[in-house]
Amino acid sequence: MPADRLRIGLIGAGRIGSLHAVHLATRIPAARLLMVADANEEAARNCAERHALARFSRDYRVVLDSPDIQAVVICSSTDTHARIIEEAARAGKHIFCEKPIALDLPSIDRAIAAVERAGVKLQIGFNRRFDANYRRVRQAVEGEEIGSPHLLHITSRDPSPPPISYIRVSGGLFLDMMIHDFDMARFLIGSEVEEVFTLAGVMVDPAIGEAGDVDTAVVMLRFANGIIATIDNSRRAVYGYDQRVELLGSAGMISTDNNYANSAVISDERGVRRDLPLHFFLERYSESFVAEMAAFVEAVLYDRLVPVCGQDGRVPVVMALAAQRSLEERRPVRLSEIEQGEMG
């Protein structure tokens, strides 16, 4: 048994950082949140006050320089992730970082190399791996309950688009939104993707197209083991947050439905209906966020492998870049092309 709880500093007190702060302070007994930093000093102060923390700062380096902090949780803007990972590694801190590590492979590789040199742990925030529905699908694959997998379909549709200001800096739909589904495809099938083909357009809001992005997309994946997968994404589903998976195998099928606030169904002369799905990712994946952070804390305290490593954070970025190139060039793109192009 470890002698003490894991002492953690939080970098970034926005929406996801604030969520992790709640979980670290109230839901994970093995964790002890000591400090929060955010470029917006008011956000840092408010987060610290909510959780009775004595220390906060607008400079994340104060967290890295604190000898009593063993690990950091990075929830700052995407363009800062790789740099802070490198600095945290040099400071000897274990690292949990929200996805993506960066929007380009050289930056990702420098961050991962820094972690390896320092001998610290790095876990990437692909929380959906910890969702009970998706873990049950993975269990069915591992247990060969549906025979050999043949065809995977992942549906991921948001209730409404993010602000255009966010679209402009997010890296685009493939790096911002579908990246979760790229990771989920690898997790569920347990094989690497070799080839990607994309069809996409602007069907929700012309302003998204004017910002250089798409809002509706279907991507086909071919895995090294021959399995075919399709992913469909939309920035707007008027009926709510749509998160479903279907996997067809040689001996059966497994599928997951949306999560709902209740199981009530109303039946009358007009039809049969129920309430809408849980509204968005904070509600839908609330327990998975707790589970992923608890896994990180345990990995550090008990010196275990993290369940989502730096390479797991890298591959979905390669897939996203391949999807974008496929859209632009109107052809299937092999992931090896992206590797050669980015690293050449």
Residue 134 within any structural domain of the chain: yes
pLDDT of 35 reads 98
Domain limit, last residue, from 120, 153, 168: 120
Residue 89's CATH number: 3.40.50.720
pLDDT of 2 reads 55
Residue 293 within any structural domain of the chain: no
pTM (2 d.p.): 0.93
pLDDT in tens, the chain (344 residues): 455 899 999 999 999 999 999 999 999 999 999 999 999 999 999 999 999 999 999 999 999 999 999 999 999 999 999 999 999 999 999 999 999 999 999 999 999 999 999 999 999 999 999 999 999 999 999 999 999 999 999 999 999 999 999 999 889 999 999 999 999 999 999 999 999 999 999 999 999 999 999 999 999 999 999 999 999 999 999 999 999 999 999 999 999 999 898 889 999 999 999 888 888 776 778 899 999 999 999 999 999 999 999 999 999 999 999 999 999 999 999 999 999 876 54
Q: Within this chain, do residues 175 and 252 fall inside the same structural domain, yes or no? A: yes
Domain limit, last residue, from 120, 138, 173: 120
Q: Within this chain, do residues 134 and 277 fall inside the same structural domain, yes or no? A: yes
Q: Within this chain, do residues 101 and 233 fall inside the same structural domain, yes or no? A: no
Domain count of the fold of the chain: 2
Q: Within this chain, do residues 113 and 137 fall inside the same structural domain, yes or no? A: no
Residue 224's CATH number: 3.30.360.10
Residue 59 within any structural domain of the chain: yes
Q: Within this chain, do residues 182 and 271 fall inside the same structural domain, yes or no? A: yes
Q: Within this chain, do residues 105 and 244 fall inside the same structural domain, yes or no? A: no
pLDDT of 1 reads 47
Q: Within this chain, do residues 188 and 326 fall inside the same structural domain, yes or no? A: yes
Which residue range forms the structural domain that includes residue 163? 129-284+316-343
- The full 3-state SS of the chain, as one line of letters, equals CCCCCEEEEEECCCHHHHHHHHHHHHCCCCEEEEEEECCCHHHHHHHHHHCCCCEEECCHHHHHCCCCCCEEEECCCHHHHHHHHHHHHHCCCEEEECCCCCCCHHHHHHHHHHHHHHCCCEEECCHHHHCHHHHHHHHHHHCCCCCCEEEEEEEEECCCCCCHHHHCCCCCHHHHCCHHHHHHHHHHHCCCEEEEEEEEECCCCHHHHHCCCCCEEEEEEEECCCCEEEEEEECCCCCCCEEEEEEEECCEEEEECCCECCCCCEEECCEEECCCECCCHHHHCHHHHHHHHHHHHHHHHCCCCCCCCHHHHHHHHHHHHHHHHHHHHCCCEEHHHHHHHHHC
Q: Within this chain, do residues 162 and 267 fall inside the same structural domain, yes or no? A: yes
Residue 298 within any structural domain of the chain: no
Q: Within this chain, do residues 90 and 171 fall inside the same structural domain, yes or no? A: no
Q: Within this chain, do residues 202 and 334 fall inside the same structural domain, yes or no? A: yes
Residue 241 within any structural domain of the chain: yes
Residue 207 within any structural domain of the chain: yes
Q: Within this chain, do residues 223 and 134 fall inside the same structural domain, yes or no? A: yes
Domain limit, last residue, from 97, 120, 143: 120
Q: Within this chain, do residues 103 and 139 fall inside the same structural domain, yes or no? A: no
pLDDT of 276 reads 84
pLDDT of 199 reads 98
